[in-house]
Amino acid sequence: MEPIFGEFHNKNSWTGWDNTWCGKSVYKLACASINPMRIHHYKVVYSNFSELSHSSPYSGMTSWTEMKSDDNVEAIIQRSEDIQKKGLVNDLLLSTFWLMEILLLASSQIPSYDGKWNLEILRRVYKAIGLEPPERLPY
């Protein structure tokens, strides 16, 4: 890593590397952004994928249900699965839209990138969540 990321080498850190590239945590960067979506990206996308990458069992769950012995277990499990599915769909949607935004912002640096790709992905997202895309898209 030294040849590529040498500027992040920190001999005073126990890992030998800086934790951030600018001295701010991801949360602080999200809060400081002029784009109000960044805090939502942090809370939904970054937090969940951070838990996935650090192997937290909670990362695959969006809710937790306590049960008593006389509860209808099947109904509780179904309700919990419905909540899980809704949470995962929200994660995937926000992640997809975030990626599309990043690609649009960086499009001048990606010679083969065509913004129409975003519109095609948007059509697929509509279909995946059971909605009809608008009849007329601007292309």
Residues 52 and 120 in one domain: yes
- Mean pLDDT across the chain, nearest whole number? 79
31 confidence band (pLDDT: 50, 70, 90)? very high
Residues 76 and 133 in one domain: yes
Whether 72 shows a pLDDT value over 90: the answer reads no
Residues 61 and 27 in one domain: no
Number of domains the chain is built from: 2
Residues 40 and 28 in one domain: no
> How far, in Å, CA of 57 to CA of 69, rounded?
24
Q: What is the pLDDT of residues 75-88, one digit of tens each?
A: 777 887 887 788 77
Contact 69, 26 (CB under 8 A): no
Contact 8, 16 (CB under 8 A): no
Residues 63 and 79 in one domain: yes
Residues 27 and 42 in one domain: no
27 confidence band (pLDDT: 50, 70, 90)? very high
Residues 17 and 53 in one domain: no
Residue span of the structural domain in which 18 resides: 1-32
pTM of the model: 0.49
